Amino acid sequence: MDFLEEVPKDFLAPQNAYNTVEGINQGITGLHFTVRNDWYFGEELQDVGTIYKALGTDIAFHGEDPNSTRFLCNYVNYLTPSSEYVREYWNRPYRLIQRVNLLVEGINNADESLLTPEERNAYIAEALFFRAYAYRHLVSFFGDVPVVTEAIDFAKTDFVRDPTSVAYQQMEEDLSFAVEHLPDPGSEKDPGRITKGAAYHLLTEVYLMQHKYTEAVTAATHVINDFGYHLMTERFGSNPDVFGSGDVYSDLFAYGNQNLGENKESIWVLQFEPSTVIGGSNNRWNRAFAPAYFRMGNTPDGKPAFRGELVNGAYTGYSDSLGRGVAWVRPTNFSAYTIWEGNWNNDIRNAKHMIKRDFYYDSPESAFHGQKIDFSKYPASAGRDPIRDTCQYIYPYFIKFADPMHVLDNEATSGNGASYKDVYAMRLAETYLFRAEAYIGLGELDLAKEDINAVRTRSHAKPATTADIDIDYLLDERARELYGEDCRHFVLRRTGKLVERVRKYNNNPLNPGLNIQDYHVLWPIPQEQMDLNIDQQWTQNPGY
């Protein structure tokens, strides 16, 4: 029956895709592509990216419709075993793991003449980084999960949910190999490729998840001391101060500055290219984080509130400095106001060009043209909806996600909420805060204070004192520095603060605290996965 076996000769298949250097490089590119798509709406399932970055935590809620059955507005009705969104949080990392395992198998089987041992190990190391990256996600969200290290090419129905300790051990092994064989920062073949610095940064996080604080300090110190990284303290790169002011923090997020050789804070940057480039793709963070100002209707005297830009002889209703937001991610009062108390005017992360709080009518026909938008000036007959006004239309907008005055396409909608700006996956400020978290775990509060103050000093914030330092202060500082950049769920889970801080700080006006229950620390195993695994019964996570 051997004649029934397909032998690929003129088409790509797992058996022949990685038997050339070009094919291996394509496989590595595919891993990067997968992560970029999963985190930045590549498949148009907006819930995934917005929840990775902010929703369902202490820092943000869904502003477009705070009572939606989507976007984790209500933990009880969102987290069900049959949810298509929960299924995606399971499927996406496992798709990445399968792709890693196929690629590693192909690299190991590639002819010896194609690669030197060093080249082979470097490719494997980059692939294994992504496997650890995926298991970090799975363990955080689901707890015990199957640890799969070989490519699956048959219908397997007897997976075992391994203890988290097995997954952590695998992550440590993968990243230990990575830090040995990946290139040093600056030696990578292309911008965005994985280096030793990124692997040590991820290894630090894996240690923190296990409360291995001494090991986390050691790994973070490698990143901070060994590779030439440093926090940016002087202005650099292109400085498009489109709002009339700027500083070194705003420079970090200016278009084109993420991959610059002079930017020594970048550890790993996800690459975006205009859609005119083959393989190009946008990120939709402007769409996600920006308010839908263009929907607010009229001025108090009944004129259109926003005229917008003149394109092809007509006014669009959109501003090319604000883009086209849809208010998927609205900051909580905690992240928009509370964390800045005591440093409101000096912390550059709260500068007017970094968090836009004041919006102005663009309505030449109105007596209110150019005035600051103030909903208290509307007559009662206007029938304003205060929730839409302050959660969807106008709210503090973190400009780090904008790409102002840089519209490359869709001019009629000011870019349609898309940007081609490269995005940090890892930067050094987080490494300092990782190490501070580890020092807090070790009870070394003076050392934690030094690392936190390294970040605060760059931002002209008042230095913390040793008496200030605890895990909540660290979480507040992460919100100030990294709002929307990290996966807040990972941080709150590993510090044991998810439920407490969501209840305390998430001020969704229709679901305060998002109806989070104690058992929501872990998400349910998708029912589809339990049903398919017919030869090994799984126990559902508690509460579901």
Q: What is the pLDDT of residue 11?
A: 53
Side-chain-facing half-sphere of 17: CA atoms under 13 Å = 14
pLDDT band, very low/low/confident/very high, at 278 (cuts 50, 70, 90)? confident
Residue 231 has pLDDT above 90, yes or no: yes
Residue 12 has pLDDT above 70, yes or no: no
Instruction: Please answer whether residues 146 and 159 qualify as being in contact, where contact means their C-beta atoms are separated by less than 8 angstroms.
Output: yes
The pLDDT of 515-521, averaged and rounded, is 98
Q: What is the pLDDT of residue 9?
A: 58
The pLDDT of 310-339, averaged and rounded, is 96
The pLDDT of 138-161, averaged and rounded, is 96
Predicted confidence (pLDDT) per residue in 375-390, tens digit: 999 999 999 999 999 9
Q: How many CB atoms lie within 10 A of CB 78?
A: 23
The pLDDT of 261-268, averaged and rounded, is 97
CA–CA separation, 534 and 526 (whole Å) = 14
Where in the chain do CATH 1.25.40.390 domains reside? 15-181+497-534
pTM: 0.96
Q: What is the pLDDT of residue 277?
A: 81
Least confident of 262-276, 459-473, 497-511, 526-540: 262-276
Q: What is the pLDDT of residue 21?
A: 93
Q: What is the pLDDT of residue 4?
A: 59
pLDDT band, very low/low/confident/very high, at 487 (cuts 50, 70, 90)? very high
CA–CA separation, 281 and 41 (whole Å) = 10
Residue 13 has pLDDT above 90, yes or no: no
In the numeric block, the tokens 């990294």 are attached to 482
Residue 1 has pLDDT above 60, yes or no: no
In the numeric block, the tokens 């050789």 are attached to 261
Contacts with 107 (C-beta within 8 Å, 6 or more apart), sequence order: 18, 24, 115, 120, 123, 124, 127
Residue 206 has pLDDT above 60, yes or no: yes
- Residue scoring higher pLDDT (140 or 408): 140
Residue 201 has pLDDT above 70, yes or no: yes
To 5 degrees, how large is the angle CA 77–CA 83–CA 89? 115
Question: Tokens at residue 487, please?
Answer: 């996966």
The pLDDT of 274-293, averaged and rounded, is 88
The pLDDT of 462-488, averaged and rounded, is 98
The pLDDT of 468-478, averaged and rounded, is 98
The pLDDT of 428-457, averaged and rounded, is 98
Q: What is the pLDDT of residue 332?
A: 98
Instruction: Please answer whether residues 74 and 514 qualify as being in contact, where contact means their C-beta atoms are separated by less than 8 angstroms.
Output: yes
Residue 182 has pLDDT above 60, yes or no: yes
The pLDDT of 480-504, averaged and rounded, is 98
Would you list the DSSP string of 77-89? HH--TT-HHHHHH
Average pLDDT, the chain: 94
The pLDDT of 112-131, averaged and rounded, is 97
CATH of 186-268+426-470, one of 1.20.1090.10, 1.25.40.10, 3.90.1150.10, 3.30.1110.20: 1.25.40.10
The CATH-assigned architecture of domain 15-181+497-534 is Alpha Horseshoe (1.25)
Contacts with 72 (C-beta within 8 Å, 6 or more apart), sequence order: 47, 51, 55, 56, 62, 78, 79, 514
pLDDT band, very low/low/confident/very high, at 40 (cuts 50, 70, 90)? confident
Cβ-count burial 349-360 (b if 16+ within 10 Å, e if not):
bbbebbbbeebe
CA–CA separation, 302 and 293 (whole Å) = 16
Cβ-count burial 392-406 (b if 16+ within 10 Å, e if not):
bbbbbbbbbbbbbeb
Residue 279 has pLDDT above 60, yes or no: yes
Q: What is the pLDDT of residue 5?
A: 63
Where in the chain do CATH 1.25.40.10 domains reside? 186-268+426-470
pLDDT band, very low/low/confident/very high, at 41 (cuts 50, 70, 90)? low
- Residue scoring higher pLDDT (48 or 498): 498
Predicted confidence (pLDDT) per residue in 286-319, tens digit: 999 999 999 999 999 999 999 999 999 999 999 9
- Residue scoring higher pLDDT (14 or 298): 298
- Residue 447, by phi and psi: left (phi above 0), alpha (psi -120 to 50) or beta? alpha
As a whole-number percent, the residues of the chain with pLDDT over 90 amount to 89
Q: What is the pLDDT of residue 86?
A: 94
Q: What is the pLDDT of residue 345?
A: 97
Q: Where are the alpha helices (DSSP H) in 459-513?
A: 471-482, 488-494, 498-505
Residue 357 has pLDDT above 60, yes or no: yes
CA–CA separation, 15 and 26 (whole Å) = 15
What one-character DSSP code corresponds to residue 11? S
Beta strand pairing status for 423-427 and 397-398? unpaired
Q: What is the pLDDT of residue 42?
A: 52
